[in-house]
A and B are shown apart, each in its own frame.
Chain A
Amino acid sequence: MPTILDFERPFVELENKIAELTSFSREKDLDLSGEIEHLEKRAEELKRSIFANLTPWQRVQLARHPDRPNTEEYVRMLFEDFIEFHGDRCYGEDPAVLGGIGRFNGTAVTVIGHRKGRDTRENVSRNFGMAHPEGFRKALRLMHQAEKFGRPVITFIDTPGAHCGVGAEERGQSCAIAQNLLGMSALRVPIIVVVIGEGGSGGALALGVGDRILMQEHAIFSVISPEGCASILWKDPSRAQEAAEALKLTAHDLLALGIVDEVIPEPLGGAHRDPKRAAALLRERMVQHLETLKRVAPEELVRSRCAKFRQIGLVSEEAGESG
């Protein structure tokens, strides 16, 4: 059963009605094409107007939509000859992070991403895409491998955050994330980061330091979950909608803030309504950026990547009081 969000309901109901009418007309051999066409137009208009006015909270819901295409599905749709590699060569294998090599538009690349599941069983086995230190260390190991062989790195971000628990702390969650930030900032091959769903804080950023940060239209990227923010700030997790607005976590907000480089459109109704089309839209932009980055010398790549992060949050001395 597909999940239907509240604001999706009006047009989904219409679409269901259209489907019913279509099969009814076929069964009874009746010509209802005029009526069906009218309803289709209305559904399309409805969808358009709903999606033109999405609130940040509705985008949070879309970003977390259980039917939204996940890393594994995009890997299947976008890469050829993909082979998955396991383990951090240190402690273990973390199923919350997917890593491997494959071919993208003719180029051999390393692919890494947070791995959410399609259903509850899958999600439990992958810890809902929340990585342990070994997941981040596997990612860094594969990035260094990519560097050695001159392969560009493509990462997919889709996680509620880094795993929180005793083992993760004992094995150095902070240290693992910090090492990835440092390692990615100095990696001498192109890194393209694609935010496809939930970008949850440090656990997301641990795969997120790239030459390009591309973000799907309905993906989010945030320093803290809206629920977490509301409960800290107002001691009231039910004010998450308000927090979602204040946090400026949508793709367009983050483009305006200079955090992400490009917003990638999704099919009308969101990526989950047409995963193939969503993947095609992604591919087109990824190809263009990869071709540009492949021509940049490693030193220049690292220099401009660092310069890009260097200028985020440049503060002026004159702002505010003098001290």
Chain B
Amino acid sequence: MWIKCPRCGEILYNKDIVKNLKVCRKCGYHFRLTAEERLAFTLDEGSFVEYDSRLVADNPLNFPGYPEKLAEARQTTGLSEAVVTGEGTILGYRVVIGVMDSRFIMASMGAAVGEKITRAAERACERRLPLVLFVASGGARMQEGMVALMQMAKTAAAVKHLDAAGLLYISVLTDPTTGGVSASFAMLGDIILAEPGALIGFTGPRVIEQTIKQKLPDGFQRAEFLQQHGMIDLVVPRARMREILGRIVMLHVGEGN
């Protein structure tokens, strides 16, 4: 199996690229990851225990076509929702972790995603563990209307509780992080990391271009741009992510966690 790098056009052998954490050897392009890949690249092998795997969306507005859309997303991804949450260890340090998967309706946030993120934060509080969220999302899930929008407030309040408990929350912004998710828990980390080249913003670039009727400069709303503008702490290449996360957690809990 061969894959073409969407940035430099290099033809890459599938096995090689997985070995390289799905980063193009030639240009450093970071391919989007599935939740399963992200967990495998981040956590110590065999350490993951999933939370709330049976928690799924219903159709609060009876939005036409939504159940079919959900069924299709479940079918193609094998996931029950757009976020996988649970517990595991990074370099031996125990964390609560959540990983969003953009293949699932652009990892949009409806009630189930909001609830899973909130519960993950609550479990981090109960167990006094750090929370690490790998964020990717197109925003609030339109088909769940205001129920989806309100998940922004609900997850922000959940982060506030972690904060009040003096616990560490690291959000890692990956490609793409936009809309209502970027404007809630994603941007509320004590420490905000991002993957190189990740698109991060409130309004997507296409909508901005249509609105201002101008072409946006190269690199606009990319992770490096956000770091330059003081919005995130650090851009971390995938190859170093596990080590950096482990080191941050280590510096917060000391040794012998």
Number of interface residues of B (CB under 8 A): 64
Query: Which residue on B lies nearest to A170, using beta carbons?
Result: B229
Q: Which residue of B64, B149, B188, B200 contacts A223 across the interface (Cβ within 8 Å)?
A: B149
Q: Which residue of A169, A306, A313, A316 contacts B201 across the interface (Cβ within 8 Å)?
A: A169
Q: How far is the CB of B194 from chain A (nearest CB, A)?
A: 12
Given contacts A178-B186, A202-B180, A322-B54, contact A247 B61 (CB under 8 A): yes
Q: Is the CB of A313 within 8 A of B229?
A: no
Give the CA-CA distance A309 to B153 in the complex, in Å. 7
Query: Which residue on A lies nearest to B111, using beta carbons?
Result: A313
Q: Digit string of A303-323 for contact with B (CB within 8 Å is 1, else 0)? A: 000100110111111111111
Give the CA-CA distance A202 to B110 in the complex, in Å. 14
9-residue interface stretch from A117-125, A137-145, A160-168, A288-296? A160-168
Given contacts A166-B220, A248-B145, A313-B60, contact A323 B53 (CB under 8 A): yes
Q: Is the CB of A259 within 8 A of B150?
A: yes
Query: Which residue on B lies nearest to A186, using beta carbons?
Result: B160
Q: How far is the CB of B204 from chain A (nearest CB, A)?
A: 9
Q: How far is the CB of A319 from chain B (nearest CB, A)?
A: 5
Judge if B216 is at the interface, Cβ distance under 8 Å.
Answer: yes
- Chain B contact residues: over half helix, strand or loop, or mixed? helix
Residues of A within 8 Å of B159, CB to CB, are 182
Residues of B within 8 Å of A246, CB to CB, are 61, 63-64
Residues of chain B from 149 to 177 with CB closer than 8 A to chain A in the complex:
149-154, 156-157, 159-161, 163-164
Q: Digit string of B172-201 for contact with A (CB within 8 Å is 1, else 0)? A: 000000011011111110000000000011
Q: How far is the CB of A266 from chain B (nearest CB, A)?
A: 20
Residues of chain B from 38 to 82 with CB closer than 8 A to chain A in the complex:
52-58, 60-61, 63-64, 70, 74, 80
Judge if B221 is at the interface, Cβ distance under 8 Å.
Answer: yes
Q: Is the CB of B146 within 8 A of A248?
A: yes
Judge if B14 is at the interface, Cβ distance under 8 Å.
Answer: no
Given contacts A202-B180, A249-B145, contact A315 B153 (CB under 8 A): no
Q: Is the CB of B151 within 8 A of A181?
A: no
Query: Which residue on B lies nearest to A161, using beta carbons?
Result: B203
Q: Is the CB of B212 within 8 A of A166?
A: yes
Residues of chain B from 196 to 240 with CB closer than 8 A to chain A in the complex:
200-203, 207-208, 211-212, 216, 220-221, 229-231
Judge if B140 is at the interface, Cβ distance under 8 Å.
Answer: yes
Judge if B144 is at the interface, Cβ distance under 8 Å.
Answer: yes
Give the CA-CA distance A165 to B209 in the complex, in Å. 8
Q: Is the CB of B58 within 8 A of A254?
A: no
Give the CA-CA distance A164 to B182 in the complex, in Å. 14
Judge if A19 is at the interface, Cβ distance under 8 Å.
Answer: no
A–B Cβ pairs within 8 angstroms, 6 of them? A169-B202, A178-B185, A223-B148, A257-B145, A313-B111, A319-B57
Given contacts A173-B183, A313-B154, 10 further A-B contacts (CB under 8 A): A169-B220, A173-B202, A202-B152, A233-B142, A306-B157, A310-B118, A313-B147, A317-B52, A320-B58, A322-B54
